[in-house]
Chains A and B, each alone.
Chain A
Amino acid sequence: MKTVSAFAMFWAGTLAMASSVGTVPRSAATQYPAHATNDQVSLGALKLNEQQVRKAFTSNLNRCCIVVELAIFPAKDHPANVSLGDFSLRTVNTENAVHPAGAKVVASSLQHKAGSDRPVTVSPSVGVGYESGTYTDPNTGRRQQAGGVYTSTGVGVGIGSPGTQSGSTEADRTAMEIELSEKGLREGTASAPVAGHLYFPVAKKKNVKYQLEYTMNGKIVVLPLPE
């Protein structure tokens, strides 16, 4: 029974994993908070907040990036050629724009940042005790009884070496790269709806509005991204 079950699991797992890169697109571009359409393509986008990023990714992308979930819905007979270079994230009303980074670059960045962290541990301790006993008085040569209360206090401060934090090893970097790659938007020609994440290496600022821009055949589609 176990063998049959394992065999079934193997095929079920294989079939489930085989075709999935990116995420599953919603039913229509309008299901996303930000969406736009032209004659060749419809786009839907969602800028993930920190909590959403934490839930969706094991890698700590909040350290480096703004994450946007994007879905592309090509029009009939107009397959879209998806390339990361066609996307950019722009701060509204400025000239500041940035292209999304690849999984390898982001994973390396996260590994480097994790490695630069240092854990600091503070361990206070207090003690109190009583000690008594006898000793020979050097002046009189007699045995003397003595005793007293003693106390002790201490604080230990430990500073870990860099590289001991999670996500800092080479294996971690590889795992992060796999995750980001598998959840990222796949490049190539898409004749059916596709979705995935874009990672923009931007330092987060409060009260800053962003817009996603997609350049297709010389035309720019702009999606203002709500918070």
Chain B
Amino acid sequence: MQRALLVPFTFLAICSFAQQTSSSQDSGIPQPQIKQSTSAEDSATAEDQKVSDRKWHLRLGTISVGAGYSRFSSPFYYPYGYYPFSPFYSSLLWDPYWGYFYPTGYFSYNDGKGEVRLSAPKQAEVYLDNAYAGKAEKLKSIWLKPGAYDLSVSDNDRASYHQRIYVLSGKSLKITAKLEPQNNLQKAEEKP
């Protein structure tokens, strides 16, 4: 039997009512493995994203719409009719979580980790628990193991930013590090 599957296959929409954000990690972003710290500082500005109190989290998964064409040629008669009813047909062909396009786990969160979405000047240096993590431009999204971390952001001509952050698995923290220019700070100090 010769069968050719062809296909303009279009995935229309990926809608999600997920309770946590599921933004994928940027490729090439380092994932510093940092020890947990117990030192303290208040982090009142860390935003907790999209939290729900419901026990059942209903999520609309991928809606897939496909179109296809196939051709068969066989010396035998199929008693069960044509393609859709043949023993070779499987609904898995239309399963969005199977096949070439979406490998297993494509939509899953970074397992057991939480995301820190950092907004800071591009050239600023980022430190986690006093260890250098990299430039801010490459650390827009950081996935960390659950725990408490001391986040510091510094730039040459600007005042440093310090924040105590708490990371939970599957949750996303949005941190905006606003670094004041040193000149402004000096002026402020000079004022009586």
Contacts and interface: CB of A to CB of B under 8 A. Distances in A.
B148 A182 contact: yes
Most buried by A among B59, B82, B146, B173: B146
A127 B66 contact: yes
A22 B55 CA distance: 30
Given A154-B94, A166-B170, A148 B82 contact: yes
Interface residues of B, number: 76
B154 A167 contact: no
B69 A125 contact: no
B40 interface: yes
Interface residues of A, number: 70
Contacts of B78: 135
Nearest to A52: B44
B160 A9 contact: yes
Contact of B168 (A23, A138, A166): A166
B56 interface: yes
A54 B132 contact: no
Given A23-B42, A55-B44, A122-B60, A131 B82 contact: yes
A17 B112 CA distance: 27
A117 interface: yes
B74 A135 contact: yes
B61 A121 contact: yes
- Chain A interface secondary structure, helix, strand, loop or mixed? mixed
A124 to B, nearest CB: 6
Nearest to A155: B61
A212 B176 CA distance: 34
Given A2-B125, A16-B162, A131-B71, 14 more contacts: A5-B125, A9-B152, A13-B130, A17-B41, A55-B47, A58-B167, A120-B59, A125-B63, A127-B64, A127-B94, A129-B67, A171-B169, A175-B147, A176-B168
26 contacts: A10-B130, A13-B39, A13-B150, A20-B41, A58-B43, A58-B46, A58-B168, A118-B56, A118-B57, A119-B57, A119-B59, A123-B62, A124-B63, A127-B64, A127-B65, A128-B66, A128-B68, A129-B67, A133-B71, A134-B72, A152-B84, A154-B95, A167-B169, A169-B112, A171-B112, A182-B164
